[in-house]
Homo-oligomer: A and B are copies of this chain.
Amino acid sequence: MQISASFGKPAPVSGAKLPFHAGNETLALDRKDLAILAELTTNARASHTELAVKVGLSSTALARRQKALEDEGYIQAYQAALDLSQFGLTTTVLVRIALESQSDEALKAFEAEVVKCPSVIRCFLMSGTDDYILIVLARDIQDFERIHRTELSRLPRVARVQSSFALREIVNRAVPTVVFGQAKR
């Protein structure tokens, strides 16, 4: 059976195996689980046998663990990573947006529209200055001008838009390496 893209996330049933203790320690995963996750993060299509030798398990044991990791929701999905530069999207822009008002209605209106912007890949509501930060992908600066005109400036309740361009990307990780750091069990 092929594994479907997204797994149901059943609330942790067994009281014995909580995902992690409230404080910050005792993750219910051991070294081998983390090794499996680390490998799947790199190569999601590895077969059981292939993973088994890398982790140091039999393929049976590995299959059981991998399925458990899926069922318990540690693995959300398996996805192909595209090379966006092949699509011409080489320019990353960080956009800071302040709204006219911080009323709940204004936030809702803004957020309902920003999810529709096809060039926006990330949007955070920020603390402090109470505004949004977006990450936008564009082909180049001219293209960003178009995005600014056709997507961003049409967002509702916007008071101020401030853009800064990324000259270079030094780090780009899906998962912080700290996750694979020390096992707890």
Binding site for B on A (CB under 8 A): 2-6, 9, 19-20, 24, 27, 37, 40-47, 50, 72-84, 86-89, 92, 94, 111, 114-115, 117-129, 132-134, 137, 139, 143, 164-179, 181
Contact = CB atoms under 8 A, between A and B. Distances in A.
Contacts of A9: 83
B120 A82 contact: no
A74 B78 contact: no
A176 B45 contact: no
B78 A44 contact: yes
Contacts of A41: 79-80, 82
Nearest to A70: B80
Contacts of A169: 122-125
Given A2-B50, A24-B143, A122-B169, 17 more contacts: A9-B83, A20-B87, A27-B87, A44-B79, A44-B80, A45-B78, A76-B82, A77-B81, A117-B171, A118-B178, A122-B173, A123-B170, A124-B167, A124-B168, A125-B166, A125-B167, A125-B168
Nearest to A42: B5
A2 to B, nearest CB: 5
Given A42-B79, A47-B2, A79-B40, A94 B126 contact: yes
Given A2-B50, A120-B171, A175-B121, A88 B127 contact: no
A45 B86 CA distance: 22
A79 B78 contact: yes
B118 A177 contact: yes
Contacts of A94: 124, 126, 133
Contacts of A181: 118
